Chains A and B, each alone.
Chain A
Amino acid sequence: MTEYVTKFGSLADYDKGSIDLINDQAKNYAFSNIFEVASSSKPWEKVAVGKNMQYVLEAIRAEGTSEWRTCAHDEFPLCMDGEVTIELVKLDTPAVPADKEGSVRIDGEPVGKKMGRIVLRKGHQALLPANAAYRMSASAPSVILLQTILGDDTVERWADICLS
């Protein structure tokens, strides 16, 4: 019986695909690779690899300990490589207006009740609840793909990351 091998990528081992153009331009596809982007990113830099109007997918190189952040809407990190710990705090008072999109940095320690802790490994997805403060940490370089909305700290460097 055939033993199938499922191929996942990682920072250490990824193989980027390609576009064979017939009558088109490569940049119309905004084609990038999450692991390649994370390989050249600063720790916790939020690099957009997908954008649909105000919505974005951010590739994040998780390494060391992040700043505390919060957001007026839910966000969803998917760990695509390594191991990432998330701490959550229920803020006594929301730090951002309800209509603010994307996450913002919190100066200092968040004020509120501890909500709990989550440890993600490859393939695990978590909820970052609206108006909670969160901080992530990774003892070794890891990769997060974050489902969120374009914010003040989203980095867009499409020309650097996309096939063209």
Chain B
Amino acid sequence: MKGITDMTVTDVQSTEPNAQGYCEFSLGAFHFSRDEYFVHITWPTGKHVLSADVFLRALQRDVAWDFFYGTVNFDSVFGTVNHYGTVDMFAGRFNDAYRKAELDHTENFETPLIRDTFKAMLDDWTNASFDPFASPAETDKPFGIKDGSNTEAITRRRVAANRMVSVPGDEQVRTDETHPVNRMFADVPQDEPEVYPEPGFEDEVAAYNLYKYISRSDVTWNPSVVSVCKASLYCPTSEEYMLPVFHGNDRVEWFVQLSDEIVWDVQDRDTGAPRSKVTMKAGDVAAMPGDIRHQGYSPKRSMLLVWENASPELPEMIRTGKASVYPVDF
């Protein structure tokens, strides 16, 4: 074992490249390797195989979201749970059959260690022609022997406004130079609001075109923050094909479908048992309860406004019964 030093801390455990050119990684008792088509994960009580494209798209979101709110299920077996400072990595923990067979395994890691291990794995296993943020129609395949890297694509900066996009000193609007309009949003109007500040109020009289902003997103299923009302965050995202993970909620999360349509597959968070299919069309608003996992399917690139309450005390409030897993009582 040796430490990767090009982009990570030296605690990341990896091997020399294997026959296909990919390093293998270890974190705790978990071991990760990939070949031309698959990712192989082993742990003391079992082993698992995922297609490399499934694994890399999920890994990309887990890294980009910094483990997000709650659980990121790469598939029905493997994933992470965010404890905001530490992260659980698990196999079979949220799979009824693995639990009953006592084959599940969970380990907890300090966030910097798992973050750096995941970043190193993502960087080593992503070839030059594959962009795990892109829809399948917009990128080449991830398969084959090791063929270069795509560090620029996988390390895109996550946009997070402090107040609102376009406010002076905050995140700025997207332009042709940096963010051309996506092929599926070519018909989205690109007009700007009319803003007439009086002298001295240029910093506080602000507006921008959110739909134009989303139409120029170069990633899929990757929310960014555009406006902040205390812990209330507007996190719009452009969605095409399918959410690469099943997101397990540790709080209520809301969706506003701004354009087109997404179908959500909703399952019990802990067992994976099906609960519903939610079809959202433009103008629809719906909550994802705090005890489910969900995966979305967007046949055409669509605009989704994810609305989050980022209050750090929420998971504990839900765990202790001080807050409900359901959005409203009526």
Contact = CB atoms under 8 A, between A and B. Distances in A.
Given A30-B327, A147-B227, A149-B230, A19 B277 contact: yes
Given A24-B275, A29-B289, A76 B234 contact: yes
Given A30-B286, A124-B210, A18 B164 contact: no
Contacts of A49: 285
A141 interface: no
Interface of B: 163-165, 167, 183-189, 191-198, 200-201, 204-212, 215, 226-232, 234, 251-252, 254, 256-261, 266, 268, 273-289, 300-301, 303, 307-309, 311, 314, 323, 326-328, 330
B226 A125 contact: yes
Given A15-B282, A118-B205, A120-B193, A50 B210 contact: no
A40 interface: no
Contact of B184 (A6, A8, A129): A6
Contacts of A90: 201
Interface residues of A, number: 69
A162 interface: yes
Given A50-B307, A147-B232, A118 B194 contact: yes
28 contacts: A7-B281, A8-B211, A9-B282, A17-B281, A19-B278, A22-B274, A23-B268, A24-B266, A24-B276, A28-B327, A35-B283, A50-B307, A51-B327, A52-B252, A75-B229, A76-B234, A80-B283, A115-B205, A118-B193, A122-B189, A124-B207, A125-B209, A125-B210, A125-B227, A126-B193, A132-B204, A147-B232, A162-B330
B207 A4 contact: no
Most chain A CB within a 10 A radius of its CB, from B163, B164, B276: B276
Given A4-B300, A50-B256, A129-B204, A55 B289 contact: no
